[in-house]
Structure 1
């Protein structure tokens, strides 16, 4: 019954993230989830370090986006505003990507610098899944950024048939929030996988042919 209740809450959070499309609320859900998982798995240094890295970036991202990132402006063009948003999101996802890639080596180095055993440090299945998800985040960000510039070629002095051809390219722009919040919903799911036995299994490299 307890397990069913937990699964219900997790999927409710995933669905809420996708449907609400409220970045502040979704950030709160992810950050609170990370804190709870850290508490549950406080004796597992792999989980603690992984959650700490994610929590730090997500909190900084939330604070910066809420207080420093311009989403509307009377002085800057829509191209500039969109470029700032897409670039900030890409940089954040890139930082998360590298933190996930190097989390295990960093944890191992920290323990070894203190003269402690590091044989129990490894990458999780959930960790590798998050790395793949961050790659998708970055692809979406780059597609939106490139489309943003192509749509406003006239701002760079490019006119004529080429500029007119790209002027109406809004496919990624129109679906950007849907794609991002769907991925954020998956992020919540994968974050909670870190608290499961399957998610905490060591990732095994495929056998080479």
Structure 2
């Protein structure tokens, strides 16, 4: 490509002075973001070799260091012997559109994450409910046994241990709900690894039975 010229809008988008640009293909490539330069050159060279029009998005770096994203769509014109004569097309600054797309993408990802957490929260509440109902029943039976049944000292110690374990499981389900449920006004740090380890211990038998 012998030269590269543009309209006033082209120079405005690139932040260039027409007299300082140089008007060469190399000068144009130098304005392209280093990470996009190879792709831009390869796309144009491929279009020249295949005698096809091309379009692409890529970034440019202005003389002041600011980065913009542009869209260019070009058609190649040839001489009679098939040699490229000129490339003519349009170039648009799409920076704001790209930024809006990135913000939308980030928002969608955050929304998906929020929905997943919401689903986990509902599941944890359901699990806690399924655990707590029989758990409270077991605890009540144990407490009643201490009152109504004549127990040896060893038996009473075992019952106290069982009651202590039911209390520990109840606290674990509370932690589970607290972690995945709506955020409280007063936040506090929790050891997620410790909670997960306790959950795994609780459901390990059920998981093994399902294998």
Query: Common fold, TM-score beyond 0.5?
Result: no
Highest relative contact order (Cα 8 Å, sep 6+), 1 or 2?
1
Q: Which has the larger strand fraction?
A: 2
* TM-score scaled by length of structure 2: 0.31
Flag the structure with larger Rg.
2
